[in-house]
Structure 1
Amino acid sequence: MSSILTNPGAMTALQTLKSVNSNLNDTQNMISTGKRVSNAKDNAAVWAISKNMESDVAGFKKISESLSLGLATIDVARKGAETVTELLTEVKEKVVAAQEENVDRAKIQTDIEALRDQVAAVVNASQFNGQYMLSHTSDAADSGSINVLASIDRDSSGTVTSTDINVSKEDLGQSAAVAGTVSVDAGTAATVNVGDKATVATFQEDTAGGLSAGNTYQFTTGGAIGLTADVAYVAREGDELGDVTAGLVIKLNKQATEDGLNITFSQGATAGTIEMTNDTDANISVVASDFQQAALDGTQADGTIGGRLEELSNIDVTTQDGADAALAVIDGLIDIAIDSAASFGSSQMRIETQTDFITGLTDALSSGIGTLIDADMEETSARLQALQVQQQLSVQALSIANSAPQSLLSLFR
């Protein structure tokens, strides 16, 4: 049945044309934006995932900036520690030269003082944006290290947490320590035979775990070892037992040399222990009162923390005894500087590795986001041409359908 009021063919052609125009509009949007999912309406699930990933990419870019800042800070500290090592090596050359009696020790001492001042200048200058890594005498909690933001981690539940790289400060200052009170006898009586090495001290951590900044650990002059002055080390924030014994060993060897004792102190294999080598002509008795440590209940008066290169400021080679004492400590000071530079080098390598990983991860995430939402331009181009042809055909079909009622006029002629 034909009707001049209803044209099913035109209606069908019109619906087809609308559908083609809608698809053509979507395709043109893909071409203009470059995305097949540009908003939540296009694909809610994919859009939500892409937005989460985009937020992570933005976060990782900020992490890259943090890593760059941390890398620059540690690089300055490492170069400073390496320079201090070179300067201390020059000091050692001067100290060795001073062992010869037929030299002008006063002039050598002047050179040493100049090198010592240069060490202090390097330590003071080794800072980046106000962050000093070669100076640390604070007893404040967590003041002995810095945290470099290294990553953000998203778990299966969507919770995001941050991860830091902790870098310890390495003090290379020369300030003098002032011992606090000690009230715990940590000694054990022992006899060190001629030519033997034996443990003569064992220090402990406090009851809270770790060492408390300001606690004093010392050898006293009360026993038969023969030291004429107390030798003390004041713990700094972040110290471990190895730091305590390393600091004491340097001072002990210097004091033993000044006192003319033919004995040598060294760190034991067990953390917190000090060993003594007896090269005298007689056995040496060590009694419990020879060494002490800070009270474990924390009630003792704290000492003043000194620089780890404190003994550098005490080197005086104008006399033979002074030259001998300087020779006894200089290697220990060089070891401190070497260990500091090595520690910074390890931290710098880790930060560089993390930087490379974050860069690669950011690229991978960006690529993944593109896979989810970017339009395939080759496919879109082909689709555009096909839809343009369909649009033209739909217009033609609609024109034909609209002209169909005119054939009814022939029935009334």
Structure 2
Amino acid sequence: MVMTSILTNSSATAALATLQAVNNQLTRNQDQISSGLRVASASDNAAYWSIATTMRSDSHAITAASDAIALGSATIDTAYSGVDSVIDLVSQFRSKIVSAMEPGVDKTKIQSELDQLKQQVVSIADSSSFSGQNWLSTNVGDLYDPSEDTASLVSSFVRTGSSVELNKTTVDLQGISLFNSGGGGILQADDRSTGTIGGLRNTDVFTDGSGSIQSFTFNGPLNFTDNSTAITFTMVIDAEDPSTTPSPGPGNTVTVRIDRSTVDQADPTLNGVVSTRDQFANVMQKALQSTGAIFSTMSGSSYGYALLSNETSGLTGSSIQVTSVASTLASGKTGGLQPTGTSYGARPALISYWDQPFKVDYSAEIHVPISINGTTTLLDIDRQTVNDALGTNDGMVNSSDDLAAVLNDAMSKQNLGLTATSEGSYLLYQEDPTILKEAGSKTSLGIGPACDDFTDLPDFGLLDVDVTTPAADLDHYLTGVDGMLDKLTAAGSTLGSLKQRSDQQADFTSKLLDSLNSGIGKLVDADMEETSARMNALKTQQQLTIQSLQVANSAPRILLQLFQ
């Protein structure tokens, strides 16, 4: 049995609680309808609200980046239009130079037309500015310095975890600028030339090392009656020079015997009697086979001859020494052979003459061909090599001492085994015996001519052209202007590529922004159809709850009737 109380109306309390809950839901539903958001604040859903807030911030940033991309695209368009117009004008300029080459033409009138074209080119370059940026008329201190010659364009906004980054596209102004206040523009003289490279550009030298030799004077006649009569001697071949070589090798020791059999094998008609130097030459050549030494007659003398190492021992050294000479001939003669000291072959050495200072630009690289023992290597020298060797930062080589230091640094890095020594007006190049142990005539050394990576650099600008001066070299002008046209074409190509990339990035950014906004909507937007249907249901529930509350509140009146 349900107890009826005059103090507590449980039914009314329950109905009231239900009504309050329904009203709260109605309020929340009404807020969603009015705002269009199912997550309008952190209290609705903290996680979704946090994500959506971050994504909205990114959306605003991407919108700003998109505007910046559009600004950059307009800057590119402006520069491209300027370059395209200048190409046409420089083409006309070139035609005027060709016309000036014709005999009998009035060069003064042609120069007047050239001056007008110059003014138009300058005007286009100066006016090719958008939002304060001008890529055709620049004000860069050193256009060849990578740290100075760049401009940048916004390309994207990127979030990685909790960090954000604005990516930029770098534009190399060196390939675009027509006129620069510090020089180096496409239509200006190019001062990056390394000149004579301190004389190395005009150096082309080669030499072989010198072999080892021992000289003698023939004495005869030599009468070999039988094999018991003989001349014997010992030779030390291809020992290394202890004065130039660390831990020198001792060489090969060979003993040579000349007897009647040797003479007969060389020339049977001699009957064992060697009377002249030339006859002795035939005998010695026979005796020296496979010994590592050779016999040579000396010009200008009927008696002089020499013994030389033919450097076929396989050893790195080059030397010859004669020892232990003995004769059992009746006369005791040795054909002039006698003990000697050691003759060492020498390694090659060369010189190059220093002429003038030079500068290695940021974009320059010097190549010096160096041939060592038949193998040619390119010695590469760039600005960093110069600065490292000299402890500077300007790329200047001011003296032969500087050049020697730079060469030694570069040769050491490439382990060439060559050293350069400054001798004031020239540099001396010598092989390092700790690395290149070979010596003698089997060695060789060649240097030069050096070059750089640049082709002929223009030494005049478009504004310098004057066909009326007697010294005007029209062919030189024509070659230089052709080079300018090539650079202008390359600049147009670069700008075209930048424009294509900018357009692609703008298209991607637009799609990214749409995707981002769509993602935010899926997280926090209210489903209006669902919200509307829920609103109707909640209103019906509210009406029913009100009626239920009315019924519950009428119960005490029924109880009062019992006491009437």
Q: TM-score, normalised by structure 2?
A: 0.52
Does the CA contact (< 8 Å) of 2:29 and 2:535 recur in 1? yes
Residue pairs, 1:340-351, within 5 angstroms? 340-351=491-502
Q: Verify: 1:163 aligned to 2:314, yes or no.
A: no
The residue type equivalent to 1:362 in the other structure is L
Residue 163 of structure 1 aligns to a residue whose secondary structure is strand
Structure 2 CA distance for partners of 1:340 and 1:186, relative to 1, 3 Å:
farther
Q: Verify: 1:330 aligned to 2:481, yes or no.
A: yes
Quote the offset at 1:181 in angstroms.
8.6
**Given the alignment, which residue of 175, 189, 196 partners 2:204?**
189
Identify the residue that residue 467 of structure 2 maps to in structure 1. Answer: 317
The residue type equivalent to 1:410 in the other structure is Q
Select between 124-133 and 359-368 the one with higher mean Cα deviation: 124-133
Does the CA contact (< 8 Å) of 1:95 and 1:323 recur in 2? yes
**Given the alignment, which residue of 94, 99, 102 partners 1:100?**
102
Identify the residue that residue 51 of structure 2 maps to in structure 1. Answer: 49
Quote the offset at 1:180 in angstroms.
9.5
Structure with the larger strand share: 2
Q: List per-residue Cα deviations over 1:230-254 (Å, max 9, x = no partner).
A: xxxxxxxxxxxxxxxxxxxxxxxxx
Residue pairs, 1:179-328, within 5 angstroms? 184=198, 187=201, 189=204, 204-207=381-384, 288=448, 310-318=460-468, 322-328=473-479
The residue type equivalent to 2:112 in the other structure is T
Structure 2 CA distance for partners of 1:179 and 1:406, relative to 1, 3 Å:
closer
Does the CA contact (< 8 Å) of 1:60 and 1:152 recur in 2? yes
Q: For the residues of structure 1 that align with 2:386 and 2:14, how far apart are their CA atoms?
A: 84
Identify the residue that residue 195 of structure 1 maps to in structure 2. Answer: none
Q: List per-residue Cα deviations over 1:28-83 (Å, max 9, x = no partner).
A: 00111111000000000000000010110011111122112212222111111111
**Given the alignment, which residue of 74, 77, 100 partners 2:76?**
74
**Given the alignment, which residue of 116, 127, 130 partners 2:129?**
127
Structure 2 CA distance for partners of 1:209 and 1:4, relative to 1, 3 Å:
farther
Residue 364 of structure 1 aligns to a residue whose secondary structure is helix
The residue type equivalent to 1:172 in the other structure is L
Does the CA contact (< 8 Å) of 2:158 and 2:167 recur in 1? yes
Identify the residue that residue 511 of structure 2 maps to in structure 1. Answer: 360
Does the CA contact (< 8 Å) of 2:56 and 2:520 recur in 1? yes
Quote the offset at 1:209 in angstroms.
10
Quote the offset at 1:320 in angstroms.
9.9
**Given the alignment, which residue of 141, 157, 173 partners 1:138?**
141
Identify the residue that residue 404 of structure 1 maps to in structure 2. Answer: 555
Which fold has the larger relative contact order, with Cα–Cα distance below 8 Å and residues 6 or more apart in sequence? Answer: 1
Does the CA contact (< 8 Å) of 1:190 and 1:200 recur in 2? no
Q: For the residues of structure 1 that align with 2:94 and 2:513, how far apart are their CA atoms?
A: 49
Residue 165 of structure 1 aligns to a residue whose secondary structure is strand
Residue 161 of structure 1 aligns to a residue whose secondary structure is strand
Select between 339-348 and 103-112 the one with higher mean Cα deviation: 103-112
The structure that has the greater radius of gyration is 2
Q: For the residues of structure 2 that align with 1:89 and 1:381, how far apart are their CA atoms?
A: 71
The residue type equivalent to 1:162 in the other structure is L
Q: For the residues of structure 2 that align with 1:167 and 1:316, how far apart are their CA atoms?
A: 33
Residue 4 of structure 2 aligns to a residue whose secondary structure is coil
The residue type equivalent to 2:168 in the other structure is D
Q: TM-score, normalised by structure 1?
A: 0.70
CA RMSD of aligned residues (A): 3.5
Does the CA contact (< 8 Å) of 2:368 and 2:448 recur in 1? no
Q: Verify: 1:149 aligned to 2:151, yes or no.
A: no
Q: For the residues of structure 2 that align with 1:383 and 1:101, how far apart are their CA atoms?
A: 96
Q: For the residues of structure 2 that align with 1:65 and 1:373, how far apart are their CA atoms?
A: 27
Q: List per-residue Cα deviations over 1:274-307 (Å, max 9, x = no partner).
A: xxxxxxxxxxxxx9477679xxxxxxxxxxxxx9
Quote the offset at 1:311 in angstroms.
3.2
Quote the offset at 1:313 in angstroms.
2.8
Q: For the residues of structure 1 that align with 2:121 and 2:550, how far apart are their CA atoms?
A: 93
Does the CA contact (< 8 Å) of 1:185 and 1:292 recur in 2? no
Quote the offset at 1:309 in angstroms.
9.2
Gaps of 5+ in 2: 180-186, 207-366, 370-377, 398-446
The residue type equivalent to 1:316 in the other structure is D
Structure 2 CA distance for partners of 1:206 and 1:385, relative to 1, 3 Å:
same
**Given the alignment, which residue of 388, 394, 397 partners 2:545?**
394
Q: For the residues of structure 1 that align with 2:154 and 2:487, how far apart are their CA atoms?
A: 28
Alignment coverage as a number of residue pairs: 324
